[in-house]
Amino acid sequence: MKTVLSLLIGVSFVLAGCASPQVRYHTLVNADPVSGAVAAPDFVIDLLPVGDPAQMFTAWQRVVERLARQIGQTATGWVATGTAACLRD
């Protein structure tokens, strides 16, 4: 009896799913036609490298030195990503 009831419930869910209307997404913008060729841009964006300010380096250096004193060990490692400066005690 339970098998028949669960089968009946499963079939009713499947039929209810098939009876629901299709999902339609609406937009206010017309779709652009797809073309195979891509045109070159009319402008060029030039990105220059960005360095770390000296103030940030000294602030991190103070933090690392303070932590090294608290731990009681010497600190050797990179201060910040992208910098070539390294702390050595």
> Tokens for 69?
């004193």
Report d(CA 41, CA 44) in Å as an integer: 7
Most confidently modeled range among 4-8, 42-46, 53-57, 60-64? 4-8
Q: Quickly tell me which residue has 């731990």 as its tokens.
A: 71
pLDDT at 73: 58
The pTM is what? 0.24
> Tokens for 71?
């731990």
The whole-chain average pLDDT of the chain stands at 74
Tell me the average pLDDT across 27-56. Answer: 76
